[in-house]
């Protein structure tokens, strides 16, 4: 008589959720070492039987959406990223590095919604209710419609939802809540999958929007199984340099709207503040100086002026220094080569320092022309007029190539008072340098013209 073969144990990667039937030292998905652990026996497969559906399938043209209008969260920049507001029953995942301000942002969202008369349940699995209350006092987020709970058990969280009957639920965070129905510690792939799928099912059944906070790995990816990002409707990433006050929310996935919108915020001593027009944050104040140039960057659908600053120092070292911050170091190296070969500006014996104002990253190809003009101005000691902004990509042949959203960049530059925009209409980098040069003293102009061929 044949005996039933026992199920083999399954091994799961604790970083990404990759599953294998035998132990390996390195994950086959995320390539991390030492993250594959035994999870237990894989369940035996069963035949799925056909069941009567709860409701009949309907033609898509007969389905009404009038009962699912978007609701404003009260935070305009957050609504912008979501596509105009929160859709009932939506599951939203907000990820970000530790300390970037995820909890502060969502507490502000909860407070704004509560002050508009909606009942909000904020569940913190990482802080006590007293700690959340202290943060709410500091950020002026107190409201009688905002309910706090400090729970790590999923069943208790569901009990709070039944008791409070909220119109918005925030869980901070999905990696620290555990389900009694699943083996393993908090944060394990199986636990994260079970907690997320249960909360999402509650959201869909009740038309209740749920916002989940997600941790990230050292590589910047959402911690836990990859299926987590597939389960939710919206994936937002909260980013920013903790050395600066500026923060951005970007939509990486959005079933209800575009993914090219960006929300801008500023961290202050009183919490987080929306920045609907962040243009002034990326520009220095005062008169133009040599080595500065304003480039027009695209953040999602937003055109933002970013000031690029360059400082150059002659050196006798065989390998000059190239220190950059806020821009792509590889593109800076390419721009320096183009300046020397195509514009006759020698950079091989000069230390070059390039940075952006405000700590913002300007790493797209459209930054090339701003970097070139800033470096040329620093070397030759001339400044760019305040009314000039630029946007252009440089080719290795020294040509200024067109960039994406060129019309939108020009429109935004005009709105902000830049009377002249230098872009691909200047056919070469040498033409762009001539167009950008300020009317400096004549001795400077003569020196510049004599030293650089073609000027």
Give the number of C-alpha atoms closer than 13 A to the C-alpha of residue 438, restricted to the C-beta side.
23
Flag whether 102 is marked binding. Answer: yes
What φ, ψ does residue 58 adopt, rounded to 5°?
-120, 150
Long-range contacts of 40-48 (CB under 8 A, 24+ apart): 40/9, 40/10, 40/183, 41/6, 41/7, 41/8, 41/9, 41/10, 42/7, 42/8, 42/9, 42/10, 43/7, 44/7
Residue 370 and residue 304: Cα distance in Å, rounded?
13
Flag whether 220 is marked binding. Answer: no
With residue 162 as reference, give the H or E element that holds it. Answer: helix 154-164
Flag whether 98 is marked binding. Answer: yes
Residue 136 and residue 305: Cα distance in Å, rounded?
34
Flag whether 9 is marked binding. Answer: no
Looking at residue 198, what DSSP letter applies?
H
Length of the chain: 455
β-strand pairing of 246-254 with 262-268 = antiparallel
Show the DSSP H helices in 92-143 as ranges: 102-115, 129-138
Residue 379 and residue 310: Cα distance in Å, rounded?
9
Residue 170 and residue 254: Cα distance in Å, rounded?
18
Flag whether 320 is marked binding. Answer: no
Contact 355, 295 (CB under 8 A): no
Contact 429, 367 (CB under 8 A): no
Residue 43 and residue 21: Cα distance in Å, rounded?
12
Flag whether 97 is marked binding. Answer: yes
Mark the binding-site residues, compressed into ranges. Answer: 96-103
Binding residues for ATP: 96-103
């Amino acid at each position: 008589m044949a005996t039933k073969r026992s199920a083999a144990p399954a091994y799961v990667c604790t970083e990404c959720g990759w599953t294998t039937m035998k132990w390996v030292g390195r994950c086959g998905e995320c390539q991390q070492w030492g993250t594959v652990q035994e999870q237990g026996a894989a369940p035996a497969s069963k035949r799925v039987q056909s069941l009567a559906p709860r409701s009949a399938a309907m033609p898509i043209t007969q389905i009404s959406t009038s009962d699912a209008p978007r609701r404003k969260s009260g935070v305009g920049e957050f609504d912008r990223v979501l596509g105009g507001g929160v859709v009932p029953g939506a599951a939203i995942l907000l990820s970000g590095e530790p300390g970037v301000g995820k909890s502060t942002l969502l507490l502000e969202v909860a407070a704004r919604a509560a002050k508009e008369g909606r009942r909000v349940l904020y569940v913190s699995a990482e802080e006590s209710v007293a700690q959340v209350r202290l943060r709410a006092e500091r950020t002026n987020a107190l409201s009688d419609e905002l309910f706090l709970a400090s729970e790590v058990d999923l069943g208790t969280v569901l009990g709070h939802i039944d008791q409070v009957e909220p119109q918005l639920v925030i869980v901070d965070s999905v990696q620290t809540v555990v389900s009694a129905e699943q083996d393993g510690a908090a944060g394990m792939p199986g636990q994260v999958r079970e907690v997320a799928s249960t909360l999402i099912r509650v959201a869909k059944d009740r038309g209740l929007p749920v916002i989940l906070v997600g941790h990230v790995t050292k590589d910047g990816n959402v911690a836990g199984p990859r299926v987590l990002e597939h389960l939710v409707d919206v994936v937002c990433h909260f980013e920013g340099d903790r050395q600066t006050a500026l923060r951005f929310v970007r939509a990486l996935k959005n079933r209800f709207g575009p993914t090219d919108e960006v929300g801008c915020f500023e961290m202050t001593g009183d919490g987080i503040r929306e920045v609907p027009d962040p243009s002034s944050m990326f520009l220095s104040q005062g008169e133009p100086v040599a080595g500065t140039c304003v480039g027009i960057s695209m953040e999602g659908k937003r055109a933002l002026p970013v000031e690029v600053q360059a400082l150059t120092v002659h050196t006798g070292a065989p390998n000059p220094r190239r220190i950059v911050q806020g821009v792509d170091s590889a593109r800076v190296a390419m721009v320096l080569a183009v300046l020397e070969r195509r514009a006759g500006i020698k950079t091989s014996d000069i230390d070059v320092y390039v940075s952006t104002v405000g700590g913002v990253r300007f790493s797209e190809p459209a930054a090339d022309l701003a970097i070139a003009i800033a470096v040329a101005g620093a070397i030759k000691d001339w400044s760019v007029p305040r009314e000039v902004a630029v946007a252009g990509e440089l080719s290795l042949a020294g040509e200024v190539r067109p960039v994406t959203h060129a019309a939108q960049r020009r429109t935004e530059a005009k709105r902000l008072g830049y009377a002249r925009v230098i872009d691909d209409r200047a056919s070469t980098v040498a033409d762009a340098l001539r167009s950008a040069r300020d009317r400096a003293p004549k001795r400077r102009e003569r020196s510049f013209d004599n030293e650089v061929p073609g000027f």
